[in-house]
Structure 1
């Protein structure tokens, strides 16, 4: 008898200060990677799928992001500035997350 299946893993990649598209509040967002791995006899062997999501810590809304955007957001968080939120230097009033003006912010609807 062969036992096989899948198991999900969640990795937190970064904390970012973004403007939430759901509630409209500037809040911390977690950037997470969800990986589903194929298992054989309860041993994870290889990844089957990967998904990236951001979640607002204020309202809990999740938004799926593409891999390229997730890598860009993770690099932005690691560049310095506020290490807790990944804001870059020069983030002033009137600018949205990551030094973008509110019109350029992809998280605002």
Structure 2
């Protein structure tokens, strides 16, 4: 009998302050790396997928980002700005605040 499956681990790269698109607050966001590995007899062998995301520490909203964006945020937080690349990518993940609805108290 062969036992196989997969295992996912999260690694926190840095904490950075962004404007959250869900709660609309400037809050700390954890930049995370999610790695899923194939396992055989409960031993992780090789990665199946690697994804990068940000998670708001205030409301818990998660947004996927590219590896390049994650690398840029990590470099900025560590004080090592990267030179601009040939194609234009945002320096940090852009998150838009949700439109504010007027309060209509009862």
Fold shared per TM-score above 0.5: yes
RMSD: 2.1
Tell whether the 8 Å contact from 1:19 to 1:105 is kept in structure 2 after alignment. Answer: no
Once the 2 structures are TM-superposed, how far is the Cα of residue 106 of structure 1 from its aligned partner?
Answer: 1.1
Tell whether the 8 Å contact from 1:38 to 1:46 is kept in structure 2 after alignment. Answer: yes
Could you say what secondary structure the match of 1:35 adopts? strand
Unaligned runs of 5+ in 2: 82-90, 98-106
How many residue pairs get matched?
A: 88
Corresponding residue number in structure 1 for 2:40: 40
TM-score between both structures, scaled by the size of structure 1: 0.74
**For 1:2 and 1:67, how far apart are their aligned partners in 2?**
34
Q: Could you report, residue by residue, the CA deviation over 1:46-96 in whole angstroms, capped at 9, with x for unpaired residues?
A: 10001111011111111111111111111111117xxxxxxx9xxxxxxxx
**Structure of higher CA gyration radius:** 2
TM-score between both structures, scaled by the size of structure 2: 0.75
Q: Which runs of 4+ in 1 moved over 2 A?
A: none
Corresponding residue number in structure 1 for 2:12: 12
Tell whether the 8 Å contact from 2:69 to 2:93 is kept in structure 1 after alignment. Answer: no
Unaligned runs of 5+ in 1: 81-87, 89-99
